[in-house]
Amino acid sequence: MTVSTKEQPTSAKDSIEVEGATIRLAGDSGDGMQVVGGQLTTTSALHGNDFATFPDFPAEIRAPRGTLAGVSGFQVQFASTDIFTPGDTLNALVAMNPAALVTNIGDLEKGGILIVNAESFGPRDLKLARLETNPLEDGTLNEYRVFEVPLDTMNREAVKDIDGLSPKLKDRCKNFFALGLIYWLFGRELDATLRFVQAKFGSKPNIAAANERALRAGWYYGETTEAFDHSYRIQPARLQPGTYRNIMGNQALAWGLITASRLSKTDLFCASYPITPASAILEELSGFKHFGVRTVQAEDEIAAICAAIGAAFGGAMAVTGSSGPGIALKGEAMGLGMILELPMVIINIQRGGPSTGLPTKTEQSDLLQAMFGRNGEAPLPIVAARSPGDCFDVAREAWRIATRYMTPVILLSDGYIANGSEPWLIPDFDDLPAIPVEHPGPATDGAPFMPYQRNERLARPWALPGTPGLMHRLGGLEKEDVTGNVSYDPDNHQHMTNVRAAKIARIAGDIPLQEVNGPSQAKLLVLSWGGTYGACTTAVQRCQAAGLSVAHAHLRYLHPFPMNLADVLASYDQILVPELNMGQLRLLVQARFLRAVVGLNKVKGKPFTVAEIRSKIKELVD
């Protein structure tokens, strides 16, 4: 039994053209919402839409079925225009059980489409969702267009004659039934998902056939039921010409690191300890041994960064990644990498904290940790990604800075970026600038090697072990300037501290000036960083279209700041910094530039909505 992709059904019902749609599929963590959400994303990408996604899953590996804590969701916005966020309010919500309904209904627009699995609203289901009455019967959903679908029954009917599958396995196909209905409702084609089913389950033809049946049954349910009298269609977006693919943030980071290693002709070594939401980087890198990538799953966070330091000493492109709790454990070794002055990239995919906190939820609360989370005077450069696709570029930039200035570089991302996805224009490798790496050759004059003899950037030479005549000492003890001998001299320690700080400060002259989107002078400047980029960009664009005096600047370089940032800030009456913490960038900007800054702060494990930022802009400008 094989899956056929040749028959693409065509709807006979009317369709209404809309600019875009925001959809969320929600159910238990075992209901396959992430799988079908990914398929909806891929299909929308192939349709030519611009899109952005927001996967949201529980911290528990497998929470009790039907409970609020176990709800998993996947949100995607696709449109015929440029978009920067997965959407504020939902146009359509698919709720597979009462718990999914309770946790997500607040995001559905009034009059929005609510599709529920009507057969999952029994007394026990309601109790698990902490509901005293059935929302399908008590009138609480009257503000929405509710479609009660007998999803269990319809799915079982579709797959009833497929042999070799238990009733439990057949029931697990219902996520594809729901996906098929969404495909009909928003004019998506089935082909890409049918190919996915064949690729994933081809060795198990009965499972492949069941999922195909469920997908098609969902589509035909939308076509034949009288509940839906029309569907919606979204035209392809006008994107920059080129070849695109759907890419997630952590995947883009891994590919950017691999590309940087090839651009610098240096083999990549990554050592990490598994931690949400950073683990996918190590997993992705492990599949590229043919590109000279070496990966180590270390026994703990300290071992991971120490292995990376050893690889850097040996001349490799050294990388380690983690999230906030792991970065805390790496702190002493980060200081070691700094005083050794070895190039490496330290990745922090931020999540809700402190401690274990909210492991699967997003936050930007590790900026001060990145700035100051080491003993002694140990400044390090910090760069931050703004979107999934931008991770590719930021990874290359982090390695460029690391090699030019012989220093570890901290790269900040967050769970929202890491797990989200967007269309990514695949670059031509030959068009990417090389990252030159130089190692001193063998000494031929018999003179002793000076490991701290610095160049015009104050970077010391990257001498490889075993190079004749270049034997030298490295370690955590303070070193004498130039010679690298251990030194306890107080004046030398002051001098070396000053030099290391000056080296990091000089990076400001080697990065782009800060750009501003909007007028060069205005009542308000929105200053953002990291994953707030999309919401801030959209909010500012809409406020500018409404005639408000506002501009937007987004920071990639957080330490050191761009050289012109002081002048940029001085050109605006007020500064607004939206960030998913309690005001960390605001604190740094106020301390550095002595400017009063207004904060918009949120630590709910969710990204900003465009409406939240627009409201604050209007409040300040009006």
* Mean local confidence (pLDDT), 123-130: 95
Which residue, 430, 447, 482, sits at the end of a domain?
A: 430
- Predicted confidence band of residue 445 (pLDDT cuts 50, 70, 90): confident
Please tell me whether residues 222 and 289 are part of one structural domain.
no
CATH number at residue 418: 3.40.50.970
pLDDT category, 67, cuts 50, 70, 90? very high
The pairing of strands 268-272 and 294-297 is parallel
Residue 6 inside a domain? The answer is no
The shares of helix, strand and coil residues in the chain, as percent rounded to the nearest 5, are 40, 20, 40
* Between 148 and 1, the higher pLDDT residue: 148
Position 2 pLDDT exceeds 60: no
Q: Which of 208, 308, 202, 244 minimizes the C-alpha distance to 45?
A: 244
Mean pLDDT calculated for residue range 307-331: 98
Q: Which helix (H) or strand (E) holds 319?
A: strand 317-322
Say if residue 312 is in the same domain as residue 416: yes
CA atoms within a 13 Å half-sphere pointing along the CA-CB vector of 337? 34
Q: Is residue 220 over pLDDT 50? A: yes
Mean pLDDT of 490-498: 98
- Kindly state the percentage of the chain with pLDDT values over 70: 99
Look up the CATH number of the domain holding residue 609: 3.40.50.920
Antiparallel, parallel or unpaired: β 244-248 and 421-425: antiparallel
Average predicted confidence (pLDDT) for the chain: 95
Task: Answer yes or no: do 482 and 537 share one domain.
Answer: no
- Of 430, 460, 491, which residue sits at a domain end? 430
153-175 average pLDDT score: 94
φ/ψ of 439, rounded to 5, equals: -125, 135
The pLDDT, as a whole number, for residue 149 is 97
Contacts of 314 (CB under 8 A, 6+ apart): 464, 465
Q: Does the structure show a pLDDT above 50 at 404?
A: yes
Question: CA 503, 507, 512: angle at the middle one, nearest 5?
Answer: 170
3 pLDDT above the threshold of 60: no
* CATH number where 37 lies: 3.40.920.10
Smallest CA-to-CA distance from 71 within 135, 25, 28 is with 28
Q: What is the pLDDT of residues 452-479, one digit of tens each?
A: 999 999 999 999 999 999 998 889 999 9
Two tokens at 294? 């070496």
Do residues 176 and 80 both lie within one domain?
A: yes
Domain of residue 201: give its range: 14-233
Closest by Cα among 455, 442, 438, 449 to 403: 438
Residue 168 lies in a domain: yes
What amino acid occupies position 13? K
DSSP symbol at 463: P
Question: Does 166 have pLDDT greater than 50?
Answer: yes
Considering the domain architecture, whether residues 279 and 426 belong to the same structural domain is answered as yes
Whole-angstrom distance, CA of residue 532 vs CA of residue 554:
9
Contact in structure between 318 and 312 (CB atoms under 8 Å): yes
Residue 606 domain flag: yes
CB 151, CB 117: distance < 8 Å: yes
What average pLDDT score do residues 225-245 get? 93
- H-helix segments, 389-466: 390-405, 415-419
Domain count, the chain: 4
Whether residue 487 is contained in a domain is answered as: yes
State the pLDDT at residue 473. Answer: 84
| Of residues 370 and 61, more confidently modeled | 370
Whether 276 is covered by a domain: the verdict is yes
Q: Cβ of 509: how many Cβ atoms within 10 Å? A: 10
Please check whether residue 396 is in contact with residue 435, taking contact to mean a CB–CB distance below 8 angstroms: yes
| pLDDT (0 to 100) of residue 1 | 41
d(CA 490, CA 568): 39
The H-or-E segment that residue 566 falls in is: helix 565-570
Select from 190, 185, 186 the least CA-distant residue to 215.
190
Tell me: pLDDT of 532 over 70: yes
610 and 499 part of one domain: no
Q: Examine the domain organization and report whether 423 and 454 are in the same domain.
A: no
For residues 231-246, give the mean pLDDT. Answer: 93
Question: Could you tell me which residues are beta bridge partners of residue 599?
Answer: 577
Backbone angles phi, psi at 142, to 5 degrees: -65, -20
Same domain assignment for residues 37 and 149: yes
Does some domain include residue 278? yes
Look up residue 398 and give its two tokens: 């982090």
Q: Let me know: does 526 contact 578? Beta carbons within 8 Å.
A: yes
Rounded to 5 degrees, what are φ and ψ at 240?
-55, 135
And the tokens for 429?
A: 């490798």
Q: Which of 420, 430, 522 lies closest to 77, judged by CA?
A: 420
Tell me, yes or no, whether 293 lies in a domain: yes
For residue 4, what pLDDT is reported?
Answer: 52
289 and 404 together in one domain: yes
CB 378 within 8 A of CB 335: yes
Same-domain check for residues 212 and 268: no
CB atoms within 10 A of CB 128: 18
Q: What's the rounded mean pLDDT across residues 85-109? A: 97
567 plus 497 within the same structural domain:
no
**Last-in-domain residue among 398, 430, 462:** 430
Do 552 and 444 share a structural domain? no
> Is the residue at 366 inside a domain?
yes
What pLDDT does residue 6 have? Answer: 53
CB 416 within 8 A of CB 531: yes
Span 287-312, pLDDT tens digits: 999 999 999 999 999 999 999 999 99
